[in-house]
Chains A and B, each alone.
Chain A
Amino acid sequence: MDWMLDYAWLVPALPLLSAALIAAFGKLMPGKGSELGVLSLAVAFLLSVGIAWETFTAPAPMEPVEHAFEWSPLGGGFVIELGMLVDGLTAMMFLLVTLVSLMVHIYSREYMQGEPRFTFFFAMLSLFTFSMLLLVIANNTLQAIIGWELVGLCSFLLIGFYWEKKPNQDAANKAFLVTKFGDVGLIVGVIVLSVPMFGASGSPFNILELNQAAADGAIGQGTIVLGMLMIFLACVSKSGQMPLHVWLPDAMAGPTPVSALIHAATMVTAGIFLLARLYPVMAQSLLVMSVVAVVGVITLFFAGLVALVQDDLKKVLAYSTVSQLGYMMAALGVGGYTAGIFHLFTHGFFKALLFLGAGSLIHAVHSNNMSDMGAMRKAMPHTFWTFIVGSIALAGFPLTAGFFSKDEVLVAGQYWPYATGGLVFWVGLAAAFVTAFYMARVCFLVFWGESRSHHPPHESGRQMVAPLVVLAILSIASGYIGSPVWDDDNNFGTWTATPVLAEADYPFVADDELGTGLQGGGEVLAGGAQGQAGSASVLAVEGEEGEGLGAGSILHGPPSWHLDVLLMALAVFLAAVALAWRIYGRGKPEEDPTLNMGPLTTVLVNKYGFDDFGYRYIVVPVRDHAARWASWSSNVVLDGIVAGAGKLTRDAAMTTYRVLDQKVIDGGVNGAAFSAAWWSERLKRVQSGDVQRYAAVLVAGVIVLVVVFAAAR
């Protein structure tokens, strides 16, 4: 089975192949090309399973498998690679991306039935998947940029899939521009980080070498802070962190399967993945970690609140995604490497499930709005049950996937000896309440109460329900891979660990700060704003966990049960659901109290005014002022300069012309641009077609050469 790792490049290659084949021959095939996409993704998925098994069972930390073509066009240490890097993190992402993409492909066959551009849609879907996999498999940052940009391009094309409608074009443009803004950061960051690697390494953009150098302390703090903050900017825009999340809810304009793909597997996770990939670099700077954590915390809480007031089912899920991405960011920012990507993994399944479920509902009632649904559980039992499973997983009901991963994130906050750790724990817990509440709201409004649909709803067909069932099972099961039921040698943590991470530690953590029973963490909590939280149980759990870990080491060791966190999460969940039942149990959306909270509702409905702010202070000034100013400056200033220079030149030329007689210089004034044509015109006459003259010129040439040559001595 070892050979599978060497053939990991097939996983991104297959969707690329199918994209090309669908684009070329899709229209000729009975399934209009969709069967090609499903087939290639199915094979890619099976390969991913093999790779995942191979990496999972390997003794941890697994040595990464790396193969690359090197291209050194200029020599001198400037090596560009096209390569693959396979370790647990790659395998985890492969599994997630190929599985979700496969489900989306199958689901879309029915969902997109009868759409114009059906074939184009599938080609794009495959290309989108390929782009993400190219980013995931990248062994160097340049290749990662290529994948990253392709992801952006494909998302643009798919979000604007119904491009006949103006709002959809706007949404696609918005997504493209906002993420492009961040991409500038990625390019700058990659260049900054490559500078110290020139000369120090055979390949300045290689990720493994970069991580190793950073862990060895070979890269200066200034470089790391600047480089990683720039890359983080890109991750903020791609992974929808505040304040650059504004494109994500609008991206709902695309077909629902695309939303599922974007929100679960292929786009928003890219930022999280990239930070995880460069985690050893990021871990070198407390400043970077803190910025990441604070942005994550802000996002996870405030985006969750916005989800409360949405009527559009997909928008609720969109803001929920923003919020969950905040959890992942926050986890990475407080030292929870394993926790962050574990949440990424589980979230991928249940969020894909929820989106596909929402798609099924929308398909049935022809509306995105919950006010048009209600009592759907009777008409659509399969959608109902799977959606409930996805909801409780997202809400973190104990023993579902979301519970285990969110639990890990909160625990990571507890470990972290700095103020951001406490912040992540308490705000994360509060946001868990919000999450449970808005998901309960959605479920009650959609599935209970009276039917408000204008069409008699009907259950979706087999091709749409089957992915829902598969994802529902995984929404429960995927959590156990990172839960304490696995043994200490092979679990999610050891799977995704790399040798660099296993040996690295945080340089800014002093030896005695974390090592002795984690009182440091306790003190921070006790002394923090949430002082009453320094409960004995929290400290006790930390104490147990702290044993056997080196001071400041990055990996937290095997997972364990956190009874206190479990109880808190359960309490929060039950409280939220109970509250939601009280309010929405009758399924009367018009009495929704979240819409009657006065100014707070206004703020939330306006999404804190980010869009308005962006429109008023960025779009309008650029469009009305900067553009006008640029136009003015180009018309008046630049033209003036050009005209002035032109006049000056002409005057000079005229003076020259008058001073030097035209006959003396004979055509030289025609200027450099014309001299070639001029000479060309003159020389043309030499090629007269007269062979005698040719011979004469030839002999003359020989004589000149011979004389010159002989005289040279």
Chain B
Amino acid sequence: MLIDWVAIAPEIALTITALIVLGADLSLRGEAKQLVNPLAVVGTLVAIGFTLYLWGDERSTFAGQFVINDYAVLFKLLFLGSLLAILGISWRFFAEGRYFQGEYYFLLLTSFIGMLLLPSARDLILLFIALETVSIPAFVMAGLRKRDLYSSEAAMKFFLIGVLSVALMLFGMSMVYGFTGTTELAGIAEAVGEGESVPLLLASVMLIFVGFGFKISAVPFHFWAPDTYAGSPMPVAAMLAVASKAAGFAGLIAVAFIAFEPLADVWAPVLGVLAIVTMTVGNLFALQQRDVIRLLAYSSVAQAGYILVPFGLAQSGHLAVNDAAIQAVLFYLVAYAVMNIGAFGVAIAVNRRTGMRSISDYAGLSQRSPLLALAFTTFLISLGGAPPTVGLWAKYWILRAVAVDITPFGIALAVFLIINSVIAFFYYLRVIRTMWMDDAPAGLPALQPGFNLSVVVVVLMFGTVLLGVLPGLAGNFADVVTLAGG
């Protein structure tokens, strides 16, 4: 069997980088350990270069288990872009904390290798391995501050719930293999399409979705998320909230729209109801939060609900609807990555040194650092979905998918989406009001976000607004990807 090395070049690049980072951490001492961050950035840029080279290409290797198409490349770019941003907001945080810098970057890169594999995987086994490659380093990263009880608790909860979900998923996969006799997604689709859908097969499909439901923190598999986000180091929380979630969606798209596409009429309503429950519960919880990180955690649960909406629209065999749904998910993920990493970046900047994280600590941020306040306002407005930001178009794309084939269920989903957007504004605007209208308490140290973080935040802020003004920049890419299969 010949291996198409070009197709897996980005993964290889990242793997080598991870190894170099580990080695460098071993050989460097003291302040010099900081150098692993730029090393990782360089490696990421190389991987981005390889990925860009693959744009427009159709490749397949490992006997069709691993494919390259525009869909996969788009996802990989999303992951690598997120990685770049997370590296930017991590530097000072870990350099100052002095804990396990080398390990952190090694684990982060390893986790992203799993993510790069996910959108390309066309086989249940590879999918599972990729998902675990994403998760296992994340378990460790969540507990990186091991002398901090909260961090340990975060890691422990994350691990337990994660293992439970993955066990259920693996159980489902084994049953699906039993029914269809294959682990290839396309083969499963064929077998499922022909065969009779017995209840046990449907149950096993559901079990597989549960595994992804954990990754995307959909209700009722979301309980770990707020505790874990709040306890783990903040850059890790950003990574879990954005990249790890996007990875879950990448896997869910592959499973749902390729392997179980013939069953879409059955699973779509279930995922639709999950979407409604997820966004509603997420928003209601978010209303209660006093801690910005927990607020962002619940807000990201609610966002996951929004992203699940297009899945609820899927119809088996209806290509136009399914394509529109996939595009909506893709566009939302891009938008979500831009605005949510940005929001976490600001939270890190405020938290650094002072450890402040409650909403009232953001009072008068506009006086202390107008740039950060402006950036945070932009990100929150975008998360809420108001113009002139990309968040508006992300929701618009979902509604557009609803409009492709109007069904009563689709309308119900749209109505819940809109109601929830309004609820969400309540808590986003509360933070904004605190930042701009309340006075800062006296005697606070000056904010020093650091160069890297500032650059990342400013770039993401411009991205939020730029994509808000010219949604076509990302929308056109999403349009190109009409085919999730391969």
Contact = CB atoms under 8 A, between A and B. Distances in A.
Interface of A: 71, 73, 676-677, 679-681, 683-684, 687, 689, 691, 694-695, 697-702, 705-706, 708-713
A679 B284 contact: yes
Contacts of B210: 702, 705
B199 A700 contact: no
Nearest to A82: B469
Nearest to A678: B284
24 contacts: A71-B469, A71-B470, A676-B287, A680-B287, A681-B288, A683-B284, A687-B223, A695-B160, A698-B161, A698-B164, A698-B165, A698-B220, A698-B223, A702-B210, A705-B274, A706-B203, A706-B206, A706-B207, A709-B203, A709-B267, A710-B203, A713-B197, A713-B198, A713-B202
A691 B270 contact: no
A679 B160 CA distance: 28
B281 interface: yes
B240 to A, nearest CB: 16
Contact of B202 (A676, A684, A700, A710): A710
B466 to A, nearest CB: 12
Interface string B200-229: 101101110010001000011101101100
B398 to A, nearest CB: 15
B46 interface: no
Given A684-B288, A694-B161, A708-B270, A701 B221 contact: yes
B199 A711 contact: yes
B266 interface: yes
Contacts of B221: 698, 701
B59 interface: no
B284 A680 contact: yes
B161 A691 contact: yes
Contact of A697 (B156, B223, B469): B223
Interface string B140-179: 0000000000000000110011001100100000000000
B371 to A, nearest CB: 14
B287 A709 contact: no
B419 to A, nearest CB: 10
Contacts of A73: 393, 471
> Which of B168, B200, B281, B284 counts the most chain A CB atoms within 10 A?
B284
Given A698-B165, A713-B197, A705 B206 contact: yes
B125 interface: no
Contacts of B202: 709-710, 712-713
Contacts of B281: 683
A488 B166 CA distance: 85
Q: What 9 A-B pairs have minimum CB-CB distances, sorted nearest first?
A: A701-B220, A710-B199, A694-B223, A680-B284, A706-B203, A680-B287, A709-B206, A710-B203, A691-B157
A154 B161 CA distance: 61
A708 B277 CA distance: 15
A437 to B, nearest CB: 55
B367 to A, nearest CB: 20
Contacts of A705: 206, 210, 270, 274
Contacts of A708: 270
Contacts of A699: 164
Given A71-B469, A710-B200, A680 B288 contact: yes
B285 interface: yes
B164 A695 contact: yes
B423 interface: yes
Contacts of B267: 709
B227 A689 contact: yes
Nearest to B281: A683
A710 B266 CA distance: 9
A709 to B, nearest CB: 5
Nearest to A683: B284
Interface string B376-402: 000000000000000001000000000
Contact of B226 (A71, A687, A711): A687
Q: Per DSSP, are chain B's interface residues mostly helix, strand or loop, or mixed? A: helix
Nearest to B426: A676
A353 B317 CA distance: 75
A702 B165 CA distance: 10
Contacts of A679: 284
A677 B287 contact: yes
A203 to B, nearest CB: 16
A698 B200 CA distance: 20
Contacts of B283: 676
Nearest to B160: A691
Contacts of A702: 168, 206-207, 210
Nearest to B419: A676
Nearest to A693: B223
Nearest to A679: B284
A680 B298 CA distance: 12
Contacts of A695: 160-161, 164
A700 B220 contact: yes
Nearest to B393: A73
> Which of B156, B202, B223 counts the most chain A CB atoms within 10 A?
B223
Interface string B455-474: 00000000000000111000
Contacts of A684: 285, 288
A171 B71 CA distance: 61
A708 to B, nearest CB: 7
Contacts of B471: 73
Contacts of B197: 713
Given A710-B200, A713-B198, 9 more contacts: A73-B393, A676-B423, A687-B226, A691-B156, A691-B160, A697-B220, A705-B206, A706-B206, A709-B206
Nearest to B267: A709
A679 B224 CA distance: 20
Interface string B30-60: 0000000000000000000000000000000
A12 B219 CA distance: 53
Contacts of B287: 676-677, 680
A140 B168 CA distance: 60
B302 to A, nearest CB: 12
Contacts of A711: 199
Given A677-B287, A680-B284, A712 B160 contact: no
B388 to A, nearest CB: 10
Contacts of A676: 283-284, 287, 423
B159 to A, nearest CB: 10
A205 B359 CA distance: 45
B44 to A, nearest CB: 32
A705 B278 CA distance: 14
B346 to A, nearest CB: 23
A713 B200 CA distance: 10
Interface in B262-290: 266-267, 269-270, 274, 281, 283-285, 287-288
A69 to B, nearest CB: 8
Nearest to A689: B227
Interface string B406-418: 0000000000000
Nearest to A708: B270
A689 B294 CA distance: 13
Interface in B106-153: none
Nearest to B164: A695
Interface string B320-356: 0000000000000000000000000000000000000
B266 A712 contact: yes
B224 A683 contact: no
Contacts of B156: 691
Nearest to B224: A694
A517 B482 CA distance: 68
Interface in B429-474: 469-471
Contacts of A677: 287-288
B461 to A, nearest CB: 18
Contacts of B274: 705
Nearest to A682: B284
A24 B426 CA distance: 35
Contacts of B207: 702, 706
A237 B79 CA distance: 56
A437 B203 CA distance: 98
> Which of B198, B210, B274 counts the most chain A CB atoms within 10 A?
B210
